[in-house]
Amino acid sequence: MTRILILEDSKECLEAITVMVERVSGHVRAVPVNSLEEARAALGGEAQPPFQAFLLDINLQTDDSSDISGITFAREVRMRKEYAFTPIIMITSLANMELTAYRELHCYQYLVKPYNEEDIRKLVGKLLFLSQQGETREDYVVVRKDSINYKIFCKDIVCIKAVPRGVNFVLLKEEMKVLYLSIKQLLEKLPGERFLQVHRMCVVNQDHIDYVDTVNGLISMKNGEQVEIGITYKNEIRKRLGM
């Protein structure tokens, strides 16, 4: 079942779009909410399955043209790891907010009022396809760089090194520096059975280890990277790698 949260201040519009969304397929369930408070309550319902998409009206106070409550809620959605990449569609008549929505919130689509049932049908069809594809089952970590969320697959991480004010991801095809993130914080996010801390300033992916030289205190990675072994980590490395 594809669950779509719909946030719209007009009860008439909310009822209409709910009907249109659910009429597309019996595999779609719309969850209509009429205010920012109701949206927050629906998002925090831990007993319910997660949402696969969000349709959010930007302006929830028609008497205040500067209101952007929908964007406020979208920001809160993006702050939650499980929704870092979930499609968000902004519904609005404020075309000047489009750039903000796309750049900052990484919206999937922008629906400008007035819209019709054909617009909704095409949109929900795309969302159904994305939902049926499903999230990859591969492990990943989400990091934030320059106000953008990045999904980094664990299989692509060779090692992670501490650098001034952050960490540097050494990936199979590139490197990425992420500020204001520590090795300790990352270890809480990474699958422990796959990643091994070998130095207070370095974590390696065991799948990418080529050779371990505990005598000289070095680990050679398959991509040619060499990592120093910290003295206090030698015993744990031997134990984890069966040496």
Any idea what the CATH number is for the domain that residue 228 is in? 2.40.50.1020
40 is in which domain, residue-wise? Answer: 2-133
Q: Is 58 in the same domain as 176?
A: no
* 3 state SS of 69: helix
Specify the pLDDT at position 135. Answer: 46
Domain endpoint, select from 91, 113, 133: 133
Closest by CA to 159, choosing from 193, 200, 208, is: 208
Q: Which residues contact 212 (CB under 8 A, 6 or more apart)?
A: 219, 220, 229, 237, 241, 243
Least-confidence region, from 106-115, 141-150, 179-188: 106-115
Same domain, 227 and 191: yes
Q: What are phi and psi of 106, to 5 degrees?
A: 55, 55
The mean pLDDT value for 222-227 works out to 94
Q: How many residues does the chain have?
A: 243
Domain ends where: 71, 101, 133?
133
C-alpha 115/C-alpha 57 separation (Å) is 12
Give the integer Cα–Cα distance in Å for 29 and 94.
27
Band of residue 136 on the pLDDT scale cut at 50, 70, 90: very low
Q: How many CB atoms lie within 10 A of CB 128?
A: 18
Please name the residues in contact with 94: beta carbons below 8 A apart, sequence gap of 6 or more.
58, 59, 65
Domain count, the chain: 2
Domain C-terminal end among 89, 116, 133: 133
Please report which confidence band the pLDDT of residue 225 belongs to, taking 50, 70 and 90 as the band edges.
very high
Counting DSSP H helices and E strands in the chain, the numbers are 7, 15
The sign of the torsion formed by the CA atoms of 117, 119, 120, 122 equals positive
Q: Record the tokens describing residue 149, joined without a space.
A: 């969320």
Answer yes or no: do 84 and 121 share one domain. yes
Which pLDDT belongs to residue 158? 97
| CATH (domain of 109) | 3.40.50.2300
- Residue 231 carries which DSSP code? G
Contact 88, 56 (CB under 8 A): yes
User: Could you tell me if 207 and 116 lie in one domain?
Assistant: no
List, for residues 176-221, the tens digit of each pLDDT value. Answer: 999 999 999 998 888 888 899 999 999 999 999 999 998 899 999 9
pLDDT greater than 50 at residue 65: yes
Please give the full DSSP string across 126-140, using - where no structure is assigned: HHHHHHHH----S-E
Same domain (yes/no): 126, 9: yes
How much is the pLDDT for 47? Answer: 59
